Structure 1
Amino acid sequence: MTVAAILSGKGRGVTTAAIDTTIREAVHILAERRIGALVVVDASRRIIGIVSERDIVRALDRFGTEALDGQVASIMTARVVTCSDTDTINHVMERMTEGRFRHLPVVEEGRLAGIVSIGDVVKARIQQVEREAEEMRAYIAMA
């Protein structure tokens, strides 16, 4: 199973932010949308960075509530690990586990084309394992 299969089920919509979005605005968007990360993009949807709940918590710990008036550019991860829709679920899960991050933007031709979370990947993997188990039971029953 590939990232494309996940995106075909959940859609390719991604909540994004501009580089000058304040951290306060980012907090509001994350809470309102019930999501864990915002992809920071330029006008042509090229990824500039990613800001997660974890980044915001660290900023609050370091700078207090004054951090909320800063821009996401000051706390975002600028070296964003990405994937393509042809990557397998196992490969993506491995990258996320090794990198210790929970959101992986999907890029096509240098532009943002979707995002997968660790929850999306785990759900897809469980479905894959259940399907394989059912196929095995059917095979054994026919033998």
Structure 2
Amino acid sequence: MVSKSKKPHFGHESMHTHSQSVEAAVVEQSKATAESILSSKGHDVISVRPTDTIHKVTEVMKEHGIGSVLVKDQNGHMVGILTERDIVRGFADEPDDTFDETAADLMTKEVITATPDTPLLDLLRSMSEGRFRHIPVLDGEHIAGLISIGDVVKFRLRELEYEALKLKQMIVG
């Protein structure tokens, strides 16, 4: 009886097939981290103060074409994150008063963060399980950047395009 858990041995340990090369490429891809994304996207983060009105926050978001801002105190420390979803909930709860409320009133205070070394797949898992689309990246106390689900998708698409190109090159010769 042949065990399915053992790989056949052909005596040519150093020979690799195309499928083994593809497998190696997939393993290499899994080493992508938050820093990999920030390196291509940039480290800039748009932030507001806890006392800024929602009206001001929406103007900032519109001006920069973004869906979230970090909320920082006077010392530059992150105290929360405010997203389009938080603002929509505010309007659902208090339609007439939301623009006059402050970032501190609507922001998410318990922020899930990543580090520069957080693997890409862990970022996706956190966002998917937590049902949020933005994750701040902290390097110790320093805010290294902010990653959106769109940033992850764009990064992964570039990787897939590169992998497809490499596969074509292997096939062609």
User: Please, what TM-score do these two structures have when normalized by structure 1?
Assistant: 0.92
Which structure is richer in relative contact order (CA contacts within 8 A, separation 6 or more)? 1
2:87 matches 1:61:
no
Residues 12-37 of structure 1 show CA distances to partners (whole Å, capped at 9, x for unaligned) of: 11000111111111111111111000
- Residue of structure 1 in register with 2:19 after alignment: none
TM, length-normalised to structure 2: 0.77
User: Post-superposition shift, 1:131?
Assistant: 1.6
Contiguous gaps of at least 5 residues in structure 2: 1-31
Is the Cα contact below 8 Å between 1:47 and 1:111 reproduced in 2? no
Which runs of structure 1 show a deviation greater than 6 angstroms over 4 or more consecutive aligned residues?
Answer: none
Q: Can you list the C-alpha shifts for 1:95-119, whole angstroms capped at 9, x where unaligned?
A: 1111111111110112212101111
The one-letter code matched in structure 2 to 1:5 is: S
Query: Structure 1: 5+ residue runs without aligned partners?
Result: none
Q: 1:135 corresponds to which letter in structure 2?
A: K
Find the partner of 1:7 among 31, 35, 38: 38
Answer with 64-73 or 48-57: which moved more.
Answer: 64-73
The residue type paired with residue 109 of structure 1 is G
- Write the letter of the residue equivalent to 2:35: A
Aligned counterpart in structure 2 of residue 109 of structure 1, from 140, 157, 169:
140
Identical-residue share of aligned pairs (%): 36
Aligned length: 142
1:7 Cα shift? 1.2
RMSD between superposed Cα atoms in Å = 1.3
SS in 2 for 1:65: coil
Give the counterpart of 1:38 among 62, 69, 73: 69
What's 2:114 paired with?
A: 83
The CA distance in 2 between the partners of 1:97 and 1:45, in whole Å, is: 28
1:73 paired residue among 104, 113, 128: 104
What is the rounded CA distance, in whole Å, between the counterparts of 1:125 and 1:65 in structure 2?
41
